[in-house]
Structure 1
């Protein structure tokens, strides 16, 4: 348990640093590009790039690789031959995918992410897309290295790699004044290379070896080189697990491409604003859900492999509760305080009041589904740990269909970016609810305590929303820099707004914690205990450092 807590802290710290750097990156980008057509081309191209990475070597491969690789290690089979075969297959798939996208880039942009852009914006998007095709290749190889290290509970180097990736993009953004959007392009490529390189010492430390051909022999022919990965023990099982997950990740990324495509019909400024809103929602999602799910996934995989179903149930449901306890207040804060948050972070330079207003529409709506989006991250990993990739894929595809149909319908009703955000939120809440119900059936029920705790968290979140909404309504006539419109002025209003926003967030958190305490939510007590332990450690180190 102590190791799991330490790993969670390492991953959470890595995600925190990554998200802070991500914010710094977006602040620089927003100042330089605002919601311009250049930035729209850059953001749009990522829809296709992410399709390659996530489907071929990102979440799809990692979710199937870790359980199979863990089982090979547990059963003392040749795990490194399996890993080498998977690397060879990944390399081959990425070469094919990137080559295909390069050739058909103009048609792909017109039919997908650039549907609502004009001819010049589409041409720029194609150029940017082609130049960044090295990124999914590097991230794909790095993603396999990350999954391997995490199987051995080595989380530090993958976390550092994610931060170096952001630093590369920040370096590119700083070159934006001279190179324009191409500074961002090369920043992405350099950052992806650093993500791979920093993990190589970790692979060497765990004894990773690369095998070619059969029984470690060099392949005697090109045909044997291509066929031998499929003959490695465990590859067939991995591919069977990968099939449904591959389909699910494809559906999910098609969903994200559809969102970009729908946003583009509102103009390039709306496309860029929608991307900012999604990035901001990913900040708490990464800190709350991804950090914990990343640590729990290998642990749940080992528990399932060892047959310890009771501990697996407690670990999975405990993870869901912990994520929801933090996600509910984060959702309330982002939803109610979207405009002040955006003004503090971005409203300066090219990111003007119109950009802030557009992004607020999307962010407020996206925030409604944060809790479902975060909870699903842990629930899906629980299914993957049980080597069930089919169930979450079926539910995920249904959620994708719901999101696209709702998004299209809401746009037809004139809801704009708010409609796209609302569709996304409703689809994610639906997915989390369905997955949770199915997980309960697999694990012998969720239990009355689980439902009681979630109900109490929802009441506490509503108290947080009420307190924030009341404070916002009272403050707007007095402090005009808070109110909607064009009253905010940079830099004069920046510090007063930071002070107000800090106080508002503290008010919301106190309301949430107060109701959580009255309703005796166990996660609050656990958070207090962890906080006290961390404070005690800091005091001890301070005392030792002063020679006491």
Structure 2
């Protein structure tokens, strides 16, 4: 666990800065464009290239590419260098073609992810998508560079590179707000030049992020030489393995399509309670997952892949069990605190510029529901890496199909039965139920594969963590009630709630968990204390 903890700490530091600057980026962007028509149009246009990237290459990076690079590094005479160069060449060619095709198909893509939008809103979204879609090529090349860095146990650059992207986007959003002010949310008056500032500025941030990763890859000795002998790239093996990954990503994106269309429809019926509210709440839900779980997952996968290659199932079980407990040690209190302090978080971040306190509170209510999903969602992602370490991309497809079926059914039920202002909250609850059930199914299947996943030890550890976290949640609830009774909910009181309720609550949890001798928490406390003593 100590190796994973050290590697995860390096990544978590970069991810922390990345996510904090991401907080600022999101707040400034929301202040500039709001959560009404323009906000919805931008968020859909911004999401489409991420979906296309995830479908084409993002999904296979962790499930196929990293394990294959590890194997080629071990088996090839040149340590896998030629294989890596072929992989990068293939990525540049394919992703450039996809980016061009995406720009040409912006109109049908926007139509696919929108519901009942008026013609002007659609035109604005199409124009933004045309400016943003070229980032697919840069995003993909950067991701391949990050995957190669990870196989060399160089985790810092992929976690720090997004900081530059966030800084660029903060500058773009500020420029947009300074230029247009309160008129910046009106789709009927926004000009093509204003849309170019938003769209091209968004792409510029990804270009900067890609550049950092490419430079970092060069510094560790990788020299990109275009290689067109792609038959030697193992495309057949990759294709046979990746076909299931494409199916997994496709099924997952079908679920996302359903959620986006339903939230877009809700936003047309109740402005401010639509896709933007869901997108911003989901982004903040991803903050603790990205800082804590992604760091551990990134460090775990190469180690488990090597253990599988060496036939050491016991090592796989140990890596997974310690990873789950390490992740849960901080995600358990984070999830409970989000359930209590969600509106305080979003009021502090979002109630500025073209945003109102009521709009920010609504995003916080959605975030509270997402707080329920934090632990099961993270465990589900860890479970997928067990299958990927074995090169098994087939099993996750069937699990994903079950997830999408459950999520679509519950989301449609929420859309048809809930009052319009609660629809997006219902979609977040459908997401939570889906990952609780999905984690249970994936755990059973993965446990059968490796002959046990230390289930009793993990369950015992989680139970003790929740016991330690409950006083922290009660403290935060008390601070929330007292502050609201005395000052109401505004940015200043929200800051007090977060500092007193969230900050002291997390300290209380760490103290209680340390005294309960929860080893994962003790390891974190001792590591931090050691660094402070230095």
TM-score with structure 1 setting the length: 0.87
Distance verdict in 2 for CA 1:199–1:353, change over 3 Å: closer
Task: State the match for 2:128 in structure 1.
Answer: 128
Are 1:430 and 2:443 counterparts? no
**CA offsets per residue over residues 315-370 of structure 1, 9 Å max, x none?**
11110111112111111111111111111112122110231232123211111101
**CA offsets per residue over residues 129-188 of structure 1, 9 Å max, x none?**
111111111101111111011111112222232222222212211221336443332222
Are 1:476 and 2:484 counterparts? yes
Task: State the match for 2:158 in structure 1.
Answer: 158
Tell me, in whole angstroms, the C-alpha distance in 2 between the residues paired with 1:510 and 1:195. 34
Residue 372 of structure 1 aligns to a residue whose secondary structure is helix
Distance verdict in 2 for CA 1:522–1:284, change over 3 Å: same
Distance verdict in 2 for CA 1:189–1:461, change over 3 Å: same
What displacement does 1:62 show? 4.0
Distance verdict in 2 for CA 1:468–1:204, change over 3 Å: closer
Task: State the match for 1:446 in structure 2.
Answer: 453
Q: Is the 8 A contact 2:62 2:388 kept in 1?
A: no
The correspondence for 1:505, drawn from 499, 502, 522, is 502
Q: Is the 8 A contact 1:273 1:359 kept in 2?
A: yes
Residue 501 of structure 1 aligns to a residue whose secondary structure is helix
**CA offsets per residue over residues 381-416 of structure 1, 9 Å max, x none?**
232122122222321232122112211111111141
Are 1:41 and 2:41 counterparts? yes
Are 1:192 and 2:199 counterparts? no
Residue 366 of structure 1 aligns to a residue whose secondary structure is helix
- Give 1:316-327 correspondences, 5 Å limit: 316-327=320-331
Q: Is the 8 A contact 1:288 1:374 kept in 2?
A: no
Task: State the match for 2:89 in structure 1.
Answer: 88
Task: State the match for 1:458 in structure 2.
Answer: 466
Task: State the match for 1:280 in structure 2.
Answer: 284
Residue 199 of structure 1 aligns to a residue whose secondary structure is helix
Tell me, in whole angstroms, the C-alpha distance in 1 between the residues paired with 2:98 and 2:30. 31
Q: Is the 8 A contact 1:334 1:367 kept in 2?
A: yes
Q: Is the 8 A contact 2:479 2:500 kept in 1?
A: no
Tell me, in whole angstroms, the C-alpha distance in 2 between the residues paired with 1:145 and 1:74. 19
Distance verdict in 2 for CA 1:29–1:205, change over 3 Å: closer
Tell me, in whole angstroms, the C-alpha distance in 2 between the residues paired with 1:301 and 1:60. 15
Task: State the match for 1:68 in structure 2.
Answer: 68
Residue 257 of structure 1 aligns to a residue whose secondary structure is helix
Tell me, in whole angstroms, the C-alpha distance in 2 between the residues paired with 1:496 and 1:335. 18
What displacement does 1:210 show? 4.1
Are 1:51 and 2:51 counterparts? yes
Task: State the match for 1:409 in structure 2.
Answer: 413
**CA offsets per residue over residues 78-106 of structure 1, 9 Å max, x none?**
52332233233323432443343333322
Task: State the match for 1:526 in structure 2.
Answer: 523
Q: Is the 8 A contact 1:241 1:387 kept in 2?
A: yes
Residue 105 of structure 2 aligns to a residue whose secondary structure is helix
Tell me, in whole angstroms, the C-alpha distance in 1 between the residues paired with 2:3 and 2:505. 33
Tell me, in whole angstroms, the C-alpha distance in 2 between the residues paired with 1:172 and 1:75. 47
- Range with bigger deviation, 141-150 or 193-202: 193-202
Distance verdict in 2 for CA 1:500–1:158, change over 3 Å: closer
What displacement does 1:4 show? 4.4
Residue 478 of structure 1 aligns to a residue whose secondary structure is helix
RMSD, aligned CA: 2.3
What displacement does 1:67 show? 0.6
Task: State the match for 1:23 in structure 2.
Answer: 23
Report how many aligned residue pairs link the two structures: 511
Q: Is the 8 A contact 1:80 1:211 kept in 2?
A: no
Task: State the match for 1:347 in structure 2.
Answer: 351
Tell me, in whole angstroms, the C-alpha distance in 1 between the residues paired with 2:440 and 2:165. 34
Distance verdict in 2 for CA 1:77–1:44, change over 3 Å: same
**CA offsets per residue over residues 58-85 of structure 1, 9 Å max, x none?**
2323431111111111123452332233
TM-score with structure 2 setting the length: 0.89
Tell me, in whole angstroms, the C-alpha distance in 2 between the residues paired with 1:444 and 1:4. 22
